Amino acid sequence: MLLRAAIFAPLLLVLGCAGAPDDDASFRDAQVSEGNGDLSIWLGPVAAQPDIIIYDIQNGFVYHGQQTPDNLILNVHDGEILDATNTEVYCAFDGDELVDAETGEVVLRVQGKVIFEGDDGGPGTIWLKHEHIYEGPPVAHNILATASVEIADASDTRKLLIGALMTANCGAPEFPRE
């Protein structure tokens, strides 16, 4: 009996203290990429001056330029991208795809850090690495834009939103080129 207690006591102590990591809110919060929160996107390779912000994403609202009421262009709500007045649905998020709300066609698809246009499996259009947004693979060094935080490990939904902004899909304006 004493031998059984000596064997099982350490095991019970380990199991009792281990707990499920998802029960701890601070553990869950630490697992969320900062790229899923508020961020700004600058044109080109350097996140620098506020006057060259091309997009501001704040609390589910997308602004063309810095965050001001006049610059609001899109809302992201309940798995959809809507216009600034919440009257027209442009696209809906469906797992790793962004689907046109009117036609049902796949507009963008994400796989890891690569965003593809359509669902044909062609070459990646937008690539994410750290805080940089590339047109094509990062080895080409063609940085389109830079985010204020690291976005490469953000959720698929956030990556698809960034892809829509970079490719002028789902109600996003034409992307400025340097």
99 vs 34, higher pLDDT: 99
Burial of 100 (0-12, 13-18, 19+ CB in 10 A): middle
Summarised one tens digit per residue, pLDDT across range 58-84 is 999 999 998 999 999 999 999 999 999
Nearest to 56 by CA among 153, 138, 154, 162: 162
The Cα–Cα gap between 10 and 146 comes to 51
pLDDT given at position 136: 87
Burial of 40 (0-12, 13-18, 19+ CB in 10 A): buried
pLDDT given at position 121: 65
120 vs 53, higher pLDDT: 53
Q: Provide the 8-state DSSP code for 7.
A: H
pLDDT given at position 86: 92
Q: Does domain 35-167 have CATH number 2.40.160?
A: yes
Q: Sign (positive/negative) of CA torsion 68, 69, 71, 73? A: positive
Most confident of 110-124, 139-153, 154-168: 154-168
**Type of residue found at 174:** E
